[in-house]
Amino acid sequence: MDGPLDWLPNLSPQWVALVGLIALLTINTGFLPARFDGAVGTVRKLAILVTWLLNSILTVAAGVLLGQGNLEPHLFRITCGLGLPLGLLTLVLFGRSPGLGAIAPRDQRERLLDLLEESWDGRLRSRIQGPKPIAVPLQLNRSYLEPPPPKGTIGLRRWGRRLWDRASRRVRPLTDPADLQRAWAASHGRLAIVGPLGAGKTILLLELGLQLIGEAKGDRRAPLPLWLDWTTWPEGDPAIAAWIVQTLTAHDGTLTAATVRQWLDGGRLILLLDGLDDLPPARQLVALGALDRLLQDRAGRVPLVLCGRPATFTAIAAQRRSLLQRLDGAVELLPLTAKQVADYLRATGRDFLIEPLQGDRAGLGTLSKLPLMLDLMVFAYPTPEAIAPRLSSPPPDGVPADPRSRLIEDAYQRLDRDRANPDDPAAEAPHHLLWLIENLRKQTQWPETPPEIPPEGTPETAEIDPPPVL
C-alpha cells in the first residue's frame, strides 16, 4: 500500500512552477478590486480593470493546464512566459495603494482621532449660536467641475443645458442628512463643496470631518481626516506635504514626520481643505498649483474635499483645469428656506425678527438665507429695541446703504458696546464672528465673489487678517 507522501517525489519542476504562478495570480486578482476604493483617476481605474482581467484569464489557463495529467511543454512555456511577468508587474504597479499603506498602532491612532474630534467639535460649537448647526439645503451639481460655457452662448442653449443636467441627475437635491456621506463615497474620495460667502461651507466641512472620524474609529483601515485651513499655509513653503506634517505633528507630538509622510503617500489621510477664498488672488494660484503637484506626484492616492465659492471654481476651470479634472463630485449649498430661518430664530430667542425677515424689510429677508448673515443678525439685534432703528431710519453717515454693509456696521456697534461691558454675560459672541466683524468692516462693501485669479507674479491685493486658531 502506498504511503500518503509517496506522490511527492513525482512532483516535477513544471508542476511546482504552475502552482506558484497560480498563487501569485490569485493574490493579484484578490487585491486589485479593492484599488477602486481609493481616489484614483479614470486612466488608472481602466488600467486596474484590464490588469485584473488578464490576471484572471491566466489564472484559469494555468489551472486548466495544471489539471491535465501530462503538461504540454509548449503551453507551459506560453503560460509561464506571460503569467510571471504580468504577476510581478502587477505587484510593482498596484501593490502600494491606500489599502496597503501603513496603519498606525491602535493606541496612537485612537489618541490622534480623539484629539482631532475634540478640536473639530470645539471649532463647530464656536461657530453656531443655536443648539445645533442649521441643516443647509444641498444639491449635487457636477457643472462646477466642467469648463465654463463659451462666451455668447444663447439663452436657449443655456436652458437646454440646465434641462439636461436635471434629466441626467447631474444636478439633484440631497434631502437626507446621510446623502452628504453618500456623495463623498460616490466621488471616490474627490469632492468639491461649493457655495457663496457665508453659505456654511466650513460648518458642512467640519460636520463631514466628524462623520469621517466616526468611521475611522469603527474601521481601523479607514483613512484619517485632516482639516486644513489655507490661511495657515506657511509663507515661502509651497510644499503642501510639509504643511501636512507640521499640522499633524502639532496635534500629536508623538508622531514623526516619516510616519505622516508614509500615511500621505499611502492614501491614509483625507485632506479637508478650507479657507481658499480667504487667500489673496495671487496666493490662491500658488496654492492651487501646489495642490495639483501633490496629487500628480502621488498618482491620485490622496483623498480630499476642496471648499470654495462658485467664482473660485470658475477660475480654477479656466486656469487650473488639470486640478478640476481630479475632482469627481460637487455638492452645492443652497439658500435657507423661510421655515429654517424662522425655526433658527425661535431656537436662539429672536422670535421678534421673524416678521421683519418674512416681509424682507430693509433687505433683511434676503440676507437671512445665508447662515452667516443670519448669525450676524442674531448677534447684532438681541432685543426688539436693537432692530427698531434698522427698520425705521436710514444708515448713519459713512455707512453704505446696501443691507449687507449696514448689518456688518450694526454688528460692529454691538461689539463695541459689549467691549464696554465685558462683565455682561450677553456680551459674549462666537469667536469666528468677532474675527469676521472686525475684518469685514475694513472693507467698504463685502464682495459677493473674489476677483479672478491673475497670472502668477501679479502683486497681491490687500490681505484679510487670518482667522483665529481655535
Same domain (yes/no): 266, 329? yes
Same domain (yes/no): 290, 329? yes
Q: What is the CATH number of the domain that holds 217?
A: 3.40.50.300
Same domain (yes/no): 325, 423? no
Same domain (yes/no): 254, 189? yes
Tell me if 62 is assigned to some domain: yes
**How would residue 193 be classed by pLDDT, with cut points 50, 70 and 90?**
very high
Residue 219 has pLDDT above 80, yes or no: yes
What's the average model confidence in pLDDT over 165-174?
53
Q: Please state the φ and ψ torsions of residue 190, each to the nearest 5 degrees.
A: -140, 90
Tell me if 463 is assigned to some domain: no
Which of 284, 301, 333 is the C-terminal boundary of a domain? 333
For position 102, what pLDDT does the model report? 47
For position 271, what pLDDT does the model report? 94
What's the average model confidence in pLDDT over 203-217?
90
Same domain (yes/no): 15, 154? no
- Rg of the chain in Å (alpha carbons): 28
For position 428, what pLDDT does the model report? 57
Same domain (yes/no): 260, 299? yes
Beta bridge partners of 141: 171
Same domain (yes/no): 183, 301? yes
Q: Please state the φ and ψ torsions of residue 146, each to the nearest 5 degrees.
A: -115, 160
Average pLDDT, the chain: 77
Lowest mean pLDDT among 120-124, 168-172, 453-457: 453-457
Neighbour count for residue 310 (Cβ, 10 Å): 17
395: which 3 cell numbers?
444708515
Same domain (yes/no): 376, 412? yes
Tens-digit pLDDT profile for residues 303-338? 999 999 999 998 888 888 888 888 888 999 999 999
For position 470, what pLDDT does the model report? 32
Same domain (yes/no): 210, 326? yes
Instruction: Look up residue 411 and give its amino acid.
Output: A
Tens-digit pLDDT profile for residues 57-103? 989 888 888 877 677 788 888 888 888 898 888 888 877 544 434 44
- How many degrees, rounded to 5, is the angle at CA 417 between CA 413 and CA 420? 140
Give the strand pairing for 171-174 and 138-141: antiparallel
Residue 3 has pLDDT above 70, yes or no: no
Domain containing 74: what range?
Answer: 9-95
Higher pLDDT, 432 or 252: 252
Same domain (yes/no): 302, 375? no
Tell me if 171 is assigned to some domain: yes
Instruction: Look up residue 392 and give its amino acid.
Output: S
Q: Report the percent of the chain where pLDDT is more than 90.
A: 11
Tell me if 289 is assigned to some domain: yes
Q: What is the 3-state secondary structure (H, E, C) of the chain?
A: CCCCCCCHHHCCHHHHHHHHHHHHHHHHHHHHHHHHHCCCCHHHHHHHHHHHHHHHHHHHHHHHHHHCCCCCHHHHHHHHHHHHHHHHHHHHHHCCCHHHCCCCCHHHHHHHHHHHHHHHHHHHHHCCCCCCCCCCCEEEEHHHHCCCCCCCCCHHHHHHHHHHHHHCCCEEEECCCCHHHHHHHHCCCEEEEECCCCCCHHHHHHHHHHHHHHHHHHCCCCCEEEEEEHHHCCCCCCCHHHHHHHHHHHHCCCCCHHHHHHHHHCCCEEEEEECHHHCCHHHHHHHHHHHHHHHHHCCCCCCEEEEECHHHHHHHHHHCHHHHCCCCCEEEECCCCHHHHHHHHHHCCCHHHHHHHHCCHHHHHHHCCCHHHHHHHHHHCCCHHHHHHHHHCCCCCCCCCCHHHHHHHHHHHHHHHHHHCCCCHHHCCCHHHHHHHHHHCCCCCCCCCCCCCCCCCCCCCCCCCCCCCC
Beta bridge partners of 194: 308, 332
Tell me if 339 is assigned to some domain: no
Tell me if 344 is assigned to some domain: no
Q: Which residue's C-alpha cell is 462683565?
A: 423
Same domain (yes/no): 248, 144? yes
Tell me if 26 is assigned to some domain: yes
295: which 3 cell numbers?
496629487
Instruction: Look up residue 317 and give its amino acid.
Output: A
For position 422, what pLDDT does the model report? 63
Same domain (yes/no): 91, 123? no
Q: What is the 3-state secondary structure (H, E, C) of 448-462?
A: CCCCCCCCCCCCCCC
Tell me if 453 is assigned to some domain: no
Distances (CA, A) of 329 to 141, 146, 204, 362: 8, 11, 15, 38
Residue 90 has, within 13 A of its CA and on its CB side, a CA count of: 28
Residue 240 has pLDDT above 60, yes or no: yes
In the chain, how many domains are there? 3
